């Protein structure tokens, strides 16, 4: 059984503040790490696919880093806006595997 | 272009009945995945198809679950003799191919409630 852990489980952030949360995953047999944003009543939306140790990806105010040796990834949101409110999921893919193993997500609420 | 579509969006069924969930992937995507999210749980991988082939069915929760894909396109997930623990949101995703690190594009899901 693969353990993909996300913390915190939920997070309240003031509008304009920056925030970050963590995904930890097995450090052996790593293939890829995915980040998704899932807004209520919508489909999960792909944010990043990361494969290389030390990878850093950015999309607008959102960025992510990857450490495959120690098995963690951080997602950062700069200058949070109300539209950033969503559940952020990370998903681990091990080498030779088929589907993704998801964490339970971090539920982010941006307070105006 | 059109995204992944799923039908029905909601399904309420009585315990013991069979249900069929449908997924229509993005045109040209050869890989198709089924996941489900039960209340309070993370997304759970069920099965994937590369073309019409499902090489590994071990993720299906029980032998009451089956899936097929024909013509390399539409897939159906069938649950026989539904139980209350089958209540969940069933999500389908597709990607260009199962190889590599392609993003998976998700449909809106089917919310299944077994009463």
A87-103 pLDDT per residue, tens: 999 999 887 666 889 99
The answer for B 26-55 residues in CB contact with A (under 8 A) is 33, 35, 41-48, 55
Minimum CA–CA partner of B47 in chain A: A99
CA distance A58 to A90: 15
Structure confidence at residue A97 (pLDDT): 67
Structure confidence at residue B1 (pLDDT): 54
Is A101 within 8 Å of B102 when comparing Cβ atoms? no
Structure confidence at residue B41 (pLDDT): 85
Arithmetic mean of pLDDT, B26-54: 91
Arithmetic mean of pLDDT, B38-50: 89
A95–B contact, CB cutoff 8 A: no
Structure confidence at residue B71 (pLDDT): 86
Q: Give the model's confidence band at B8: pLDDT under 50 very low, under 70 low, under 90 confident, else very high.
A: very high
Comparing B97 with A65, the larger pLDDT belongs to: A65
DSSP string, chain A: ----EEE-SEEEEETT--EEEEEE--SSSEEEEEEEEE-TTS--EEEEEE-STT-EEEETTEEEEEETTTTEEEEEESS--GGG-EEEEEEEEETT--S-EE---EEEEEE-
Query: What percent of chain B is modeled with pLDDT above 90?
Result: 75
Residues 6+ apart with CB under 8 A from A103: A4, A5, A6, A23, A89, A90, A91, B42
* Residue ranges of chain A whose pLDDT lies below 50: none
- pLDDT higher than 90, residue B79: yes
A71, A29 Cβ separation under 8 angstroms: no
Structure confidence at residue B53 (pLDDT): 87
- pLDDT higher than 80, residue B98: no
Q: What would the two tokens of residue A54 be?
A: 């030390």
Structure confidence at residue B85 (pLDDT): 96
- DSSP code of residue B102: P
CA distance A31 to A100: 10
Residue A14 neighbours by CB distance under 10 Å: 10
Is B107 within 8 Å of A46 when comparing Cβ atoms? no
A70–B contact, CB cutoff 8 A: no
CA distance A15 to A81: 5
């Amino acid at each position: 059984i693969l353990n993909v852990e996300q913390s915190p489980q939920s997070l309240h952030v003031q509008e304009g503040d920056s925030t970050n949360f963590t995904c930890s995953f097995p450090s052996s047999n790593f293939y890829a790490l995915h980040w998704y944003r899932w807004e209520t009543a919508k489909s999960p939306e792909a944010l990043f696919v990361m494969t290389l140790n030390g990878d850093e990806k950015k999309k607008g105010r959102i960025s992510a880093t990857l450490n495959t040796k120690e098995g963690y990834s951080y997602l950062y949101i700069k200058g949070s806006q109300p539209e950033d409110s969503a559940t952020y999921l990370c998903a681990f893919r091990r080498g030779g595997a088929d589907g993704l193993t998801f964490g339970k997500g971090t539920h982010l609420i941006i307070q105006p | 272009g059109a995204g992944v579509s799923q039908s029905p969006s909601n399904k309420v069924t009585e315990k013991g009945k069979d249900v069929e969930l449908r997924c229509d992937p993005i045109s040209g995507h050869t890989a198709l995945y089924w996941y489900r999210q039960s209340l309070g749980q993370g997304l759970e991988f069920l099965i994937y198809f590369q073309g019409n082939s499902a090489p590994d069915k071990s993720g299906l929760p029980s032998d009451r679950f089956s899936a097929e894909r024909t013509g390399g396109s539409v897939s159906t997930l069938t649950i026989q003799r539904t139980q209350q623990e089958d209540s969940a949101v069933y999500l389908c995703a597709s990607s260009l191919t199962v190889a590599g690190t392609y993003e998976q594009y998700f449909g809106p899901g089917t919310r299944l409630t077994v009463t």
